[in-house]
């Protein structure tokens, strides 16, 4: 899958994508194609107090409840949180790892595209 070379409109000639940039783009695409299921969001481990004022979690020092594993992600601009069991986290950890890798690769592709257009168009010289 090759990217078309953009036109330099002021010269009417085609500019070739630099070979190094194309090689890097192929590396990113290859890495993307190797990903499995990918989940967005973050996992946090929380300790917390309950609502019972006479519970040990309210003493000094507190004996908090937990740990609770929480998966948070944005859905339509709102934060959604689910509590996961340790077994669920163990089972789906590769999906969370893939989600993080997907975000990293997307960022790399964006950065590569920005530096490539700057090179092709002579911006920043």
Q: What is the pLDDT of residues 13-65, one digit of tens each?
A: 557 999 999 999 999 999 999 999 999 999 999 999 999 999 999 999 999 99
Give the containing element (helix H, strand E) for 3.
Answer: none
Tell whether 1 is covered by a domain. no
Beta bridge partners of 65: 48
Say what the pTM is.
0.76
Boundaries of domain holding 44: 7-121
Q: Is residue 29 part of a domain?
A: yes
For 88-117, the pLDDT digits (tens) are: 999 999 999 999 999 999 999 999 999 999
Question: How many Cα atoms occupy the beta-carbon half-sphere of 106 within 13 Å?
Answer: 8
Decide: 47 and 27 in contact? Cβ < 8 Å. no
pLDDT beyond 50 at 72: yes
Domain count, the chain: 1
């Amino acid at each position: 899958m090759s990217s078309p070379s953009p036109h330099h409109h002021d010269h009417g000639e085609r500019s070739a994508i630099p070979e190094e940039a194309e090689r890097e783009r192929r590396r990113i695409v290859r890495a993307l194609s190797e990903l499995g299921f990918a989940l967005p969001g973050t996992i946090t481990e929380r300790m917390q107090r309950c609502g019972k004022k006479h519970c040990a979690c309210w003493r000094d020092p507190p004996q908090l409840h937990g740990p609770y594993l929480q998966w948070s992600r944005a859905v339509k601009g709102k934060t959604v949180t689910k509590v996961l069991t340790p077994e669920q986290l163990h089972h789906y950890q590769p999906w969370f790892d893939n989600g993080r890798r997907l975000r990293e690769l997307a960022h790399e592709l964006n950065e590569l595209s920005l530096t490539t257009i700057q090179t092709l168009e002579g911006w920043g010289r």
